Amino acid sequence: MEIFRTPAEIQAYALSAKRRGKTISLIPTMGYLHAGHASLIDIARQRADIVIVSIFVNPTQFGPNEDLDAYPRDFEHDRTLCEDHKVDAVYAPAPDSMYADDASTWVEETVLSRPLCGASRPIHFRGVTTVVAKLFNLTLPDYAVFGRKDAQQLLVIRRMVRDLNFPIEIIAAPLVRDEDGLALSSRNRYLSAEERKRALVLSRSLRAGRRTIEGGGLETIPTVIELMKKEIEAAGGRVDYVEALDTGSLTAPNADTTELLLAVAAYFGTTRLIDNQFIQVKS
């Protein structure tokens, strides 16, 4: 497995692979890899000749009071996980090599990035789309794999790829949960044992909400949302949002809606967790 530290190196590697007729899969990550990332790598492996994992804690997607400095990092652990999963190349740039000091160009999606996490993290998705566009230009992938855990991110990236004609297939990988139901996230390590137990209300209430909407249709949404908020607060969480939106537009569902995103963000202690369920709507 090769490790590259600068944009020029990884781009030369990707260009040489493309010239040899190889296909490339990219898994963009911020490191501190877990079984969820491993599942993305395994999916990527099935598609392409070459699998590249990028590991970069991207400063432009963190707000001023967010956890950029505290974000967990463990390169040796990440390297081992990548080696174990037969990754061909890791791109782990030094922070100052990714952005010029006077960088002044952004890639911004302006509709799907506004609700949900975009409402409480206003610059977040602009940072994500900008860095992902850069990673696409550096690694020249045919496929890029994103987890459904970051559902809004997945939808925003798909929109960016469509709107800017990137010749890349975006693959949505299933959300991976711990045995107790907690969605895997690098941020779970911030939780105390007590907070972790309390946070199980997220997956539990989402499952129940999904069953209710599947059984009773769109009319049940307001009740489901109220109930979920109450349950999360009763478990000691502080709700950021609970919403059920049309996955095509990330607006309120209507008679044409075929798929819903039931999504939640809540704080347990100081840790903000997100989770979701995609729900097919019967016509």
For residue 139, state whether it binds ligand PAF (rule: CB under 6 A): no
In the complex, the smallest distance separating the C-beta of residue 212 from ligand PAF, rounded to whole angstroms, is 29
Does 61 interact with ligand PAF (rule: CB under 6 A)?
A: yes
The interface region with ligand PAF, picked from 25-33, 81-89, 235-243, 257-265 by CB under 6 A, is 25-33
Query: Does the protein bind ligand PAF through residue 90 (CB under 6 A)?
Result: no
Amino acid type, 159: R
**Closer residue to ligand PAF in complex, CB, 28/237:** 28
Phi-psi region of 261 (alpha: psi -120 to 50; beta: other; left: phi over 0): beta
Say how many C-beta atoms besides its own lie within 10 A of residue 11's C-beta: 16
Among 150, 240, 243, 246, binds ligand PAF (CB under 6 A): 150
Residue 82 interacting with ligand PAF (CB under 6 A): no
Nearer residue to ligand PAF within complex by CB, 81 or 131 = 131
Residues in contact with ligand PAF, counted by CB under 6 A, come to a total of 10
* Residues in region 101-130 near ligand PAF by CB under 6 A: 128
State the catalytic residue, choosing from 37, 77, 85, 124: 37
Interface with ligand PAF (CB under 6 A), residue from 26, 132, 154, 235: 132
Please identify which residue in 29, 203, 205, 257 interacts with ligand PAF, judged by CB under 6 A: 29
Number of Cβ within a 10 Å radius of residue 1: 14
| Piece of the chain touching ligand PAF by CB under 6 A; list 27-35, 44-52, 96-104, 220-228 | 27-35
Residue 131 interacts with ligand PAF (CB under 6 A)?
A: yes
Is 77 in the active site?
A: no
| Distance, CA of 136 to CA of 130 (rounded, Å) | 10
Stretch that binds ligand PAF, among 28-36, 84-92, 101-109, 201-209 (CB under 6 A): 28-36
Interacting residues toward ligand PAF by CB under 6 A: 28-30, 58, 61, 128, 131-132, 150, 153
Q: Which residues are catalytic?
A: 37
